[in-house]
Structure 1
């Protein structure tokens, strides 16, 4: 069973008003769907519509269990605590988190809803995999309801250093919630280390080699109230990836290739196309890449007649005030740069504030000579891996922030500190002027990593590690006697 904030489907309404469901895009669904089909799995999550009374249903062969969220719960739990408290806190406080008791109370209540929904439908002794920062309390709640279950948790975003995590008034409750899992997965080794340090600081104990030994209930200060038996929790990194084969297959599509050529033509066949693809989020460093690019134009090191930056910024959390302000700021910057450096024939920045289907994204990747990923903090950043997967021609250059999880794996990218505008400018110029031989050497190494460490391998590694923590029949029998 998978438990996540959203179900893996989106509602589609036909012209006659009849509803249906289509699979949501995303690597998580791709990775887990075969496993769930093979094990008669279920998926618990929200439909994405407030006050939706949808009951359990089947879609594309999957058993889906909706959790109903009221409009107030969406505002306080999702827009509030999840995205106005946890998100900025876990991304190094790039924006100031809001510590609201109303947000927290809603977060607790909604996590309890998810835990109860999962407990109601999970098979005896089943495996439950809880996903991401919106549901950090679910592992403990679920263990208290169903101690027979094997529980995994994966944190898709960074986990902060203790100096930041300690700001959270409910740090102990979050830590206890996560320790309800048997296996806690993180994107980076450093994230797992931050979590283990937080556990040591909060509970004043030692941890070793990613293993946390919980004593039986009533022994010591550890949160293990649901079990009379000692229990081991493992925390380690499992860097997520993409469905690489799907991107490789699309590259071979003649229509996609033709579209890539059309994109270059529509942009005036410049010498260099630079591309940024991000959710519109303050963690993505969009303003930093704009600043570096504008300075290079001002210094005459790049020419708007033969260089263009295409920025895709898909809408994100548009009801949250921080994101509204960010959009206004970015659009003002685009207007200023285009007004100062653009010509009648060429814009300096082609800015597009909407999402695109995967086929169009692959065409954009094929058209781009330089991919700019300048995140100020990112759990992984799958766009970097998507760009690499599409470059079967072993061309193109990836400029990648060292603060993105992908930097741990994609070491042949041009790694940058996006706060260092001069360093970012040097990296952009290196990418623009890099020789074909060096581009090929770097891209070949990057593609080997992405193609051999895909999302299927990620899910298998996590679930295999979780299976290793499953109690043996004899241990389960002893616990039953107790």
Structure 2
């Protein structure tokens, strides 16, 4: 049977799999001698898709990371990269505005107030169309296109309209809110219609997929059954859109390998020594974001010191807060508030030889992060709302000694899978204090029992399994929908 053809005039390439994401999987770097080059970006998504992209002769469509850069498509380590040019104004309106000052707070349960500006929405539509056009041009006839995340929610429908021959998937990396919150969005219909251009819409949690289906029923009145949404098609037919949870994970084997390197284990011992060899080290690793519950974590820790339950000689909190969205006002205010609280706690409780909180507002290479994971006795994941939280899984993967305790917010997607963690409600400060003390005092036997169960889950369900399961579902659903389009 002949393969479907792209529309007349489209440039045919050989990309059988096209990934569309806000960013390319590379960073533009300049070394000490002024030489410029591209370096593969760190991150689970890039790691997950690299082998798939190589096998499929894939293309990756994304913004190269700097405003105004105009680049032709190029090859990098076996992947065809298709840069999308964005101006400084478009970054301000589409990315900092609509994506991160509207969608991000709305989809994270309005922890911060979302703002709805029509000029942001207009830029969002314009930029999404540019991404869709680039993907349509990069895709071979009948190719599979996988769109990533909330910055590009309109791309699936735009692609469906211009390239009906394609199989289209979309994965939503952040939460999808309950309808009572989602209904605030002035463009709620357009976003749902944009997402339903895909054959498969993937989410982190079952609850997120359910929220999406309920929004579709309320706004569009489309029937939903199990994981399927019946979307009207030509000539009175319908196609089935699968809306389902596909929880993302990490490249677990790489973290296991790093944790066993002698130099990293030596660095972990050095970190403990630099902190004054406390009996227990608590660790938080987050982007500096209001969704991560850093303020709640600091409040609980400070109160434990005030109550005399712990002392700075015995317990230290290391808080890594990597810079994030530094031009968005809510993030500027958050940094000021957190640093003021850290300063007050340290001022009240530090001694000449010990610091209550070692606060690090910077990003670290993965090797240093693994050393921190190995040094930490307790990992604090206190998110107020989080799509998944891969840090929790990274900590678990490194603990080949089956020691350490994971405190995990029930509002993080990881809580659905990592049931052997100590679960916390970060809004319950007293409950969090009790959980921290329980973790500090937990016997080795209980630590081992919990950590073995956690590690088994993370290693069995790694990022490769995530991408394979999503793409398998996409192939099945997309092929069935393609048959409907051929035989209306």
Tell me the secondary structure at the aligned position of residue 311 of structure 1.
Answer: strand
Could you report, residue by residue, the CA deviation over 1:35-76 in whole angstroms, capped at 9, with x for unpaired residues? 111111000000010000111111112110000000000000
Tell me the secondary structure at the aligned position of residue 457 of structure 2.
Answer: helix
Provide the residue aligned with 1:297 in structure 2: 305
Q: 1:213 aligns with which of 230, 236, 239?
A: 230
Provide the residue aligned with 2:68 in structure 1: 51
CA distance, structure 1, for counterparts of residue 412 and residue 487 of structure 2: 48
- TM-score scaled by length of structure 1: 0.96
Provide the residue aligned with 1:281 in structure 2: 289
Q: 2:204 aligns with which of 187, 197, 213?
A: 187
Provide the residue aligned with 1:428 in structure 2: 436
CA distance, structure 2, for counterparts of residue 392 and residue 250 of structure 1: 11
| 2:297/2:382 contact within 8 Å kept | yes
CA distance, structure 2, for counterparts of residue 34 and residue 213 of structure 1: 33
CA distance, structure 2, for counterparts of residue 162 and residue 406 of structure 1: 22
Q: How does 1:56-455 map to 2 (within 5 A)?
A: 56-217=73-234, 219=236, 230-455=238-463
CA distance, structure 2, for counterparts of residue 39 and residue 206 of structure 1: 35
| Structure 1 position 15, deviation (Å) | 4.0
Q: Is 1:30–2:30 an aligned residue pair?
A: no
Provide the residue aligned with 2:9 in structure 1: none
Could you report, residue by residue, the CA deviation over 1:107-154 in whole angstroms, capped at 9, with x for unpaired residues? 000000000000011000000000000000000001101000000000
Segments of structure 2 that go 5 or more residues without pairing to the other structure are: 1-17
| Structure 1 position 481, deviation (Å) | 7.4
CA distance, structure 2, for counterparts of residue 263 and residue 283 of structure 1: 28
What is the root-mean-square deviation of aligned Cα atoms in Å?
Answer: 1.2
Tell me the secondary structure at the aligned position of residue 353 of structure 2.
Answer: coil
| Structure 1 position 206, deviation (Å) | 2.6
CA distance, structure 2, for counterparts of residue 333 and residue 351 of structure 1: 11
Tell me the secondary structure at the aligned position of residue 427 of structure 1.
Answer: helix
Tell me the secondary structure at the aligned position of residue 325 of structure 1.
Answer: helix
| 2:305/2:349 contact within 8 Å kept | yes
CA distance, structure 1, for counterparts of residue 486 and residue 428 of structure 2: 58
Over 3 Å off, 4+ runs: 14-18, 475-482
Tell me the secondary structure at the aligned position of residue 231 of structure 1.
Answer: strand
Could you report, residue by residue, the CA deviation over 1:198-227 in whole angstroms, capped at 9, with x for unpaired residues? 0000022431001011222475xxxxxxxx
| Structure 1 position 476, deviation (Å) | 5.1
Tell me the secondary structure at the aligned position of residue 464 of structure 1.
Answer: helix
Provide the residue aligned with 2:470 in structure 1: 462
CA distance, structure 2, for counterparts of residue 480 and residue 215 of structure 1: 15
Pair 1:171–1:218, CA change in 2 (3 A): farther
Tell me the secondary structure at the aligned position of residue 388 of structure 1.
Answer: helix
Tell me the secondary structure at the aligned position of residue 386 of structure 1.
Answer: helix
CA distance, structure 1, for counterparts of residue 339 and residue 71 of structure 2: 38
- TM-score scaled by length of structure 2: 0.95
